[in-house]
Amino acid sequence: MENFIYDIPTRVYFGRGQIEQLKRELPAYGTRILLVYGGGSIKKNGIYEELRQIERETGIEIFELSGVEANPTIRTAQRGIALCREYEVDAVLAVGGGSVIDCAKAVAAGRFYEGDPWDLVLHWDRITEALPLLTVLTIAATGSEMDSIAVISNEETQDKMAMKHPVLRPRVSILDPSYTFSVSAYQSTAGAADILSHAMESYFAREEARLQDYFAQSIMKVCIECAPKVLEHPEDYEARANLMWAGSWAINDMLKLGHALPWSVHAIEHQLSAVYDITHGVGLAVVTPHWMEHVLKEETVDKFYELAVNVWKVPENSDRFAAARAGIQALRDFYRSLGIVSRLSELGIDETHFEEMAEKAARQAEGSYQPMTKADIVQIYKNSL
């Protein structure tokens, strides 16, 4: 295990009705709050009205940045930064899924940066400070509610890249599983695929870290158990709750401690959703099995074998490659059972941009578990077609 620092100070209020806690928490961070959200769903599910009630009761003042995109753009973040400056905002409250929270993170940090906020994506060391961020999560997927990462898109350059810094980690997150009852089957399964992917990417590492490995497997098991339940009964509170909590732990740094590496599948997928605006979790589900087949070899087979046996319940087998392949097949079958497409062509993607996307992805995946050259990634894209 490599040396590490564990420091995850986000306070999480988990369960039904926990939004009440914002009455005490919000005033602790100031009197002028920027509310960041996407479309109108927070007006339908009652959260918006709850917040207006809290505003009246506590005397805080809420300003609004709405219309955050599914793949949030630096342009929208710029609008938020301008609002923070104009209204001298004290803290940011993101209500939504990962896209909204990521945008809010870019706003919170961009508030203190005088230059073009895209610089912060390119140069993380220019992030020095951020407004306190609180979140109310409405979909189990990215884990942004407890991590220090924001993924931002740049429409001009067709880039989609992550920024990461401890000051971006939310101070407080409200996780009420009942808010996810209304998440569509499509988005629910894409979210589960995203969580599963975070756990899998963290799991593949060169250094030994057994607790982290088993925790990663735990998260995978929760996804496998609970995603089908959610599909069948969208209002299954226990399944929604388990999935939501697993989502937060899949990427809050815990799994990577002591054996952190850059992720490759995420790098490969981010290019797809940057260019084609597809749903991130779906892109991951399509690409992951092909990445696995590409890197399965003598040197990696033990990690795959353990995954197959512990998570996919593949019987123990002296032919480790056979068991490893059965595990990859089980992952494919699982995605199929959730109704997730298995080919890029089904998403309207063809070879047109593979070369340029692979070049960017290879740069982002540098140092990952298995080396990924541009040629490797083009091959994975082609195999996924």
Binding to a second copy, residues 65-124 (CB under 8 A): none
Q: What's the distance, Cα to Cα, between the start and end of the chain in Å?
A: 38
Judged by beta carbon, residue 221 or residue 325, the one nearer a second copy is 221
Q: State which of residues 68, 77, 121, 241 lies at the interface with a second copy (CB under 8 A).
A: 241
Determine the Cα–Cα distance for residues 255 and 203; give it in Å rounded to an integer. Answer: 7
Are 143 and 12 spatial neighbours (Cβ–Cβ below 8 Å)?
no
Binding to a second copy, residues 190-209 (CB under 8 A): 208-209
Q: Which of 9, 8, 12 is nearest to 21 (CA)?
A: 12
Q: State which of residues 57, 61, 225, 299 lies at the interface with a second copy (CB under 8 A).
A: 225
Determine the Cα–Cα distance for residues 213 and 230; give it in Å rounded to an integer. Answer: 26
Judged by beta carbon, residue 152 or residue 209, the one nearer a second copy is 209
Judged by beta carbon, residue 121 or residue 330, the one nearer a second copy is 330
28 is an interface residue for a second copy by CB under 8 A: no
Q: What are phi and psi of 324, to 5 degrees?
A: -60, -45
Q: Compose the 257-276 pattern: x for residues touching a second copy by CB under 8 A, - for all others.
A: xx------------------
140 is an interface residue for a second copy by CB under 8 A: no
Determine the Cα–Cα distance for residues 293 and 295; give it in Å rounded to an integer. Answer: 6
Determine the Cα–Cα distance for residues 242 and 245; give it in Å rounded to an integer. Answer: 5
Judged by CB under 8 A, the stretch of 86-94, 217-225, 273-281, 374-382 that binds a second copy is 217-225
Are 136 and 143 spatial neighbours (Cβ–Cβ below 8 Å)?
no
133 is an interface residue for a second copy by CB under 8 A: no
Q: DSSP per residue over 190-205, as a string?
A: HHHHHHHHHHHHHH--
232 is an interface residue for a second copy by CB under 8 A: no
Q: State which of residues 37, 203, 249, 304 lies at the interface with a second copy (CB under 8 A).
A: 249
3 state SS of 71: coil
The total of other beta-carbon atoms located within 10 Å of residue 85's CB is: 11
293 is an interface residue for a second copy by CB under 8 A: no
Interacting residue ranges for a second copy, rule: CB under 8 A: 1-18, 177, 208-211, 214-215, 217-219, 221-222, 225-226, 237-238, 241-242, 245-246, 249, 257-258
